[in-house]
Structure 1
């Protein structure tokens, strides 16, 4: 393997760092150079011939996610719109398309993240139960996909137990969602999620 030195001016390094949450610009430049080399080589050799500009964007962004973004971060409108400066409509479409392409992976990640989000309010839920207020709701912050998984699990639980108190959406911005779930229900869902995580 050959080692190649490239020169990147300070302004470009600053832009690169800004686009990736202030991470070390030198490290980012090395990763970015590898991405650029791979992309152009794929085009020159004919390994990649995209049929449309949208397909090219999808491929490019997918590779950026694979190489430069933490593996726990799902493709999101916020990243594409705010960090990569894509137009609003295009950012929404590409985030949805990328999410659909890797849905199975991100559903698994959403379940793991949701479990962690519920564990954060577990002590509060325990306190409610001790006060005989297990049917009282507790606000939970989770991701958009985490909220979808929570809704799915609550629907399934309600089919088994008509007394089960399901989730109530409270709103959200971007990828963040706030939902309300009864203390008793929190423990039920934690148990189900732990089983899913073990089986995954």
Structure 2
């Protein structure tokens, strides 16, 4: 099977749904009115899904839409809209506070304690929302895209940590790379 055949197979896999009861083969009315089932993610995200063979701006538009959805739907997740900028993926760094001097006044100490609690809450909220965002983004990936993601060397660590920015960067690479680069595409390109 050639690389072109592999790519076409992956694109067909993305178009076909896993629900075999709705395929023309099992449909009594075999006529031309039977429509292929197309992969869909969450209904509230509409057509914003990651599929192989999509338009050139698929990653950009889908990632932006998902970032805006997360910012609006998740609690205290406004930073995700900016973090999901396809041109600059990543969160603004939350810097941990330096310990105050031993000679700091009570007012300075109290202000530091309040800021430290705010920092801890921001970190906890980000980690919690990252885990939910990881699941959401993964749910917007077609079966063929998931296969590519899971065949990447970095997948196990990204998945274990629910590293959403790492997932987006890997996803961007998977969607833009030529067919045949991943083990799931072909066995011939193992030496790349």
TM-score, scaled to structure 2: 0.31
- Report the structure, 1 or 2, having the larger strand content: 1
